Structure 1
C-alpha cells in the first residue's frame, strides 16, 4: 500500500478505507505482467517437467538443419542457451502461438490471484499492525500478512494453475495446410477441464497444492525484501520520471529474484505433481515422494530445471506488476488529494 493511503476504517469497522484499490491495482498489474512474459512461462514449465526433457537432451549433436549446437556445460551460460533453444524449437515446431499456450487460464488465474494477493497483503498488514502492533509496521507484520495472502491465493486459484500447466505440457506440431486448426484458447481450456474432471475427479484440480503451500515461503521472502528495498529507495518517491520508476522496478525485480533463487525447487515439484497421467498411471503422488523420486532418477540438479527461463519471466513480471500496482495506488492518492484541495 502507498505510504500516504488512508488507514481509517470503513463503515464495517474492519477493512481499511479504500481497500478495493489493492484488489483493482493488483489485478491490472498481474494481467500486464503475465501477457508480457507468457513465452518464458511456457518454456519454464516444460523445462521443469520430465515429459519434454528427452526432446532436448541431445543438444550438442547435429540438428535437422545441419547446425551443430554447443555441448551442455551445466553452467549459467548453458541454462541461458538452453532457454533460447527451447523457445526457438517451440516456435519452429509448434508455431509461435504455442509460446502463448495456457495464456487464457493464466490470465483467468493471474487476475484474481494478483487481486487476492495484493488485497490480502495490502489490507492485511494494516489490520495486523493496527490490532496487534500498535499501528506500526515491521518485518513480522509484513511476514505474517504475506503468509496469509499466499495461503488464500494458492487455495483459491490452484485449479486454474493445474489447467494452465496441463495445456503448456501439451505438444502439437504445426498443422499442415488445409488441416484442422488448433482449438481456441477458451475451447482448449474447457476441453482440458472436462478431461481432468473425467479422468481424475475434483481432486485432480488440487494437485500440487501442497507444493503451492510450500511456495508461500517465496511470497513471504519477496514481500519482506520488497518492503525493505522500497524503504531504501524511498528517496525517489515524488521525484517522478526515470528515477522514481527505476526505484520501483528495481525493488520489485530484486526481491523476486532473491526469493526465487532461494525457494525454486518447490516450482519443479509443483509442476511434476500437476503433470497429466502417463499410460493411465500417476507417477508423482505426493510432495516428499516427488522430491525423493526426482533426486533418485535425475539428481538434485534437476530441482533447478528451467531456472533461467523462470527468472527471465518472473523478474520482469514482478517489476511490471508491482510498479503498476504502486503506480495505480499513487495515482489514486494524488487524485484524492487534488479533490480534497478543491474549494
Structure 2
C-alpha cells in the first residue's frame, strides 16, 4: 500500500511538471498556430522559416491567460494519473498473488529468458490496458479543457461538469473517443520496446562485460524512445479523435474536418503528410507546400 501511495505521489509530481509541455503539444497536434513563422537557422546552420517552439508558444499562452493558463486541464489529468497508477499496480499484484497461490509454485523449473520476457510483457500489457480503459474519460476531458484555448470557450470548466456535458451530448461513447488508437499505440509500443531490448541484450551485448547491467538499462531506454517514435501517429490520431466534432472550435473546421472514424482521421493525416505533427516542439520547420493564413491562425 505504501509503495502504491509513493508511486501516486511521484506520478502526480511528474504530471504537474510536464503539464505545460503536454498543453503546448496538444495545441500543436490540433494544428493551432497562433504565432507567425520566423526566420531562423536549422541544426545545419541553414536559414529556414520556423514555427514557434515550446518556449515561444508557452510564452504566448502566459501572455493570454497568465502563468496559471499553462496548467489548464491539470485536475482531470491528475485524476487520470492517480487512478491509472493504482489500477496498474493492482492488476500486477493480482498476477503475483495468483502465481504464488499455484500448487508447487516454489518448485517450478526456471523458464527461459524469452519466456520470461513474453510473460512479463503480457502482464504489463493487461495492466496498462486496464488502466487506460478506466482513465480514458479523464484523458478526454483533459484534452478538451486544453483545446478550449483556441476558441476561448468555457464549455468544460470543471471535471464533474465535463462528465455531465459529455454524457448529455454524446452518451457513454463520448467518454471513450479516441480509445482504440490509444490502446493500439500503447500495446505496440510496449511489445516493440521489450522485444527490441531483449534482442539487444541477448544477441548484441556480450556477457562478461563489467558494465553489462548498466548497458542493458540503457538499451531499455533507447528502445523505449525508438518505440514511442514509431507509434506516435497512434497518439496523434487518438488525441484528435478525442476532441473531434465535440463542439469546440479546435475540433471543427478550419482546424479539423469531421472524421467518420479514427481510420478516416489516420488516412487524411497520411495524405496531408501530417502524421508527425506535434512530435517535435523544437526546430519546427514550416511544412512544405502549406500556406500560412494569419487570420485563421493555421496552415492550409
Which deviations, in whole Å up to 9, do the C-alpha atoms of 1:131-188 show, x marking residues without a partner? 69856472111221121112211111111100000001111799xxxxxxx98x9x53
**CA displacement at 1:190 relative to structure 2:** 3.0
The corresponding residue for 2:134 is 156
Residues 283-322 of structure 1: pairs in structure 2 closer than 5 A:
283-296=258-271, 298-299=272-273, 302-309=274-281
Task: Choose 191-200 or 285-294, whichever is displaced more.
Answer: 191-200
The corresponding residue for 2:173 is 203
Q: Tell me, yes or no, if structure 1 residue 90 matches structure 2 residue 58.
A: no
Structure with the larger helix share = 1
Kindly indicate whether the alpha-carbon contact (under 8 Å) linking 1:117 and 1:149 is maintained by their aligned counterparts in 2. yes
Residues 158-173 of structure 1: pairs in structure 2 closer than 5 A:
158-171=136-149
SS in 2 for 1:307: coil
Residues 1-343 of structure 1: pairs in structure 2 closer than 5 A:
20=1, 23-50=4-31, 52-53=32-33, 55-56=34-35, 58-60=36-38, 69-70=39-40, 82-121=53-92, 124=95, 134=109, 136=111, 138-171=116-149, 188-215=158-185, 216-222=187-193, 254=222, 256-275=224-243, 276-277=246-247, 283-296=258-271, 298-299=272-273, 302-309=274-281
Which deviations, in whole Å up to 9, do the C-alpha atoms of 1:210-242 show, x marking residues without a partner? 11221222234456678999999xxxxxxxxxx
- The Cα RMSD (Å) is 4.3
SS in 2 for 1:36: helix
Kindly indicate whether the alpha-carbon contact (under 8 Å) linking 2:178 and 2:238 is maintained by their aligned counterparts in 1. yes
Q: TM-score normalized by structure 1? A: 0.60
Measured at CA, do residues 105 and 250 of structure 1 come closer, stay the same or move farther in structure 2, by a change above 3 Å? farther
Task: Choose 34-43 or 197-206, whichever is displaced more.
Answer: 197-206
**CA displacement at 1:96 relative to structure 2:** 1.6
Unaligned runs of 5+ in 2: 206-212, 283-300
Kindly indicate whether the alpha-carbon contact (under 8 Å) linking 2:29 and 2:236 is maintained by their aligned counterparts in 1. yes
Unaligned runs of 5+ in 1: 1-19, 61-68, 175-181, 233-243, 311-343
Instruction: Give the distance between the partners of 2:50 and 2:235, measured in 1 at CA.
Output: 17
**CA displacement at 1:72 relative to structure 2:** 8.6
Task: Choose 122-131 or 203-212, whichever is displaced more.
Answer: 122-131
Q: TM-score normalized by structure 2? A: 0.68
